[in-house]
Amino acid sequence: MMNSDSAKPLGITRCGNMEFRWGQRTYVMGIVNVDPDSFSGDGLCDAESAIAQGKRFAAEGADIIDVGGESTRPSFEPVSAEQELERVLPVIERLASELSVPVSIDTYKSEVARRAVAAGAKMINDVWELKRDLKLARVAAEAGVPLVISQNQRDSRFHDFFPDLIASLKRSIQVALDAGVAWDNIIIDPGVGFGKTVEQNVEIVRCLAELKVLGRPILLGTSRKSFIGHVLDLPVDQRLEGTAATVAIGIANGADIVRVHDVAQMVRVARMSDAIVRGRHS
């Protein structure tokens, strides 16, 4: 059964050769989009560019590289599993063999996840909260890799936002546990964007600590998202400072991983935030 005692330590999650020791510091996930349709304007059309970006992110201090082959922007055009695999497998294979940091696969398709893990991915990041493909959790369980469960509101509407958000994640955690995913391998993401209003996205960052009741580490992905553009009235390529503000406040409110496009800058933000919040000065 799900353990919701938030007072207990989050423990350690092993990801390839790396250990995420939750609570000691904030980890940074660098985004590599092998998809020209990316909302953030950073989508890459070829494997070599994506590989180069992943290597640069690792050199800039990323703790994990998240590779995705399908856009998640509103009104995105879905791609087949075959096309997604053609995009991501060459990138994952190279990065997994040439980097010391682990690689994650950003997908909601179980077949893509299975093939990506076989190619070297050490984490699965599902932006559809296990709602699109129930077999995805089983892939994570059988591979023994961490699973990020991102809340997605596009197929539903909440009446009491934060309690409903927590209840949705709690149900999805139980789905993962029932499929055999280890408790220590579950990471939660409140899903900034993904059918939520500007006000709801702001509330997520402000009230992030409420998710601690679920007893699992929290991943926060605010980077360059539209609610920042709405608040600041800025296009996607001018949202660096807005992203930095959400990352810093998110860390103060309990984020354990931040998923970002601008790795070098956000590594610095995370280190400074950790010095203040966690008393970590190195």
Q: What is the pLDDT of residues 17-42, one digit of tens each?
A: 999 999 999 999 999 999 876 554 45
- Tell me how far apart the alpha carbons of residues 111 and 135 are, in angstroms, rounded to a whole number: 9
Q: Is residue 95 situated within a structural domain?
A: yes
Report which of 265, 275, 261 is spatially closest to residue 65, judged by C-alpha positions: 261
- Tell me how far apart the alpha carbons of residues 175 and 131 are, in angstroms, rounded to a whole number: 10
More confident residue, 166 or 76: 166
Residue 135's φ and ψ, nearest 5 degrees, are -75, -10
CATH of the domain at 181: 3.20.20.20
Residue 74: the pLDDT is: 64
At 119-144, the pLDDT tens digits run 999 999 999 999 999 899 999 999 99
Q: Is residue 10 situated within a structural domain?
A: no
* pLDDT over 70 (residue 260): yes
Q: Catalytic residue among 25, 114, 115, 259, which? A: 259
Q: Find where tokens 């006000």 sit.
A: 199
Domain count, the chain: 1
- Tell me how far apart the alpha carbons of residues 135 and 132 are, in angstroms, rounded to a whole number: 9
DSSP 101: S
Q: What is the mean pLDDT of the chain?
A: 92
Sorted by sequence, the CB contacts under 8 Å of residue 66 that are 6+ apart come out as 29, 30, 31, 32, 103, 104, 105, 106, 123, 125, 259
Residue 40: the pLDDT is: 47
Q: Is residue 101 situated within a structural domain?
A: yes
Q: Is residue 98 situated within a structural domain?
A: yes
Q: Is residue 138 situated within a structural domain?
A: yes
Residue 259: active-site member: yes
Report which of 261, 258, 101, 207 is spatially closest to residue 271, judged by C-alpha positions: 258
Residue 18's φ and ψ, nearest 5 degrees, are -105, 150
Helix ranges restricted to H, 144-281:
161-178, 198-206, 226-232, 240-252, 263-277
Q: Is residue 272 situated within a structural domain?
A: yes
At 150-202, the pLDDT tens digits run 999 876 777 899 999 999 999 999 999 999 999 999 999 999 998 899 999 99
Residue 177: the pLDDT is: 98
Q: Is residue 2 situated within a structural domain?
A: no
Sorted by sequence, the CB contacts under 8 Å of residue 106 that are 6+ apart come out as 66, 67, 68, 69, 125, 127
Q: Catalytic residue among 115, 131, 216, 225, which? A: 225
Residue 206: the pLDDT is: 98
**By residue range, what is the domain housing residue 150?**
25-276
CA distances from 135 to 113, 140, 218 (A): 10, 9, 23
Q: Is residue 202 situated within a structural domain?
A: yes
At 213-234, the pLDDT tens digits run 999 999 999 999 999 999 999 9
pTM above 0.85, yes or no: yes
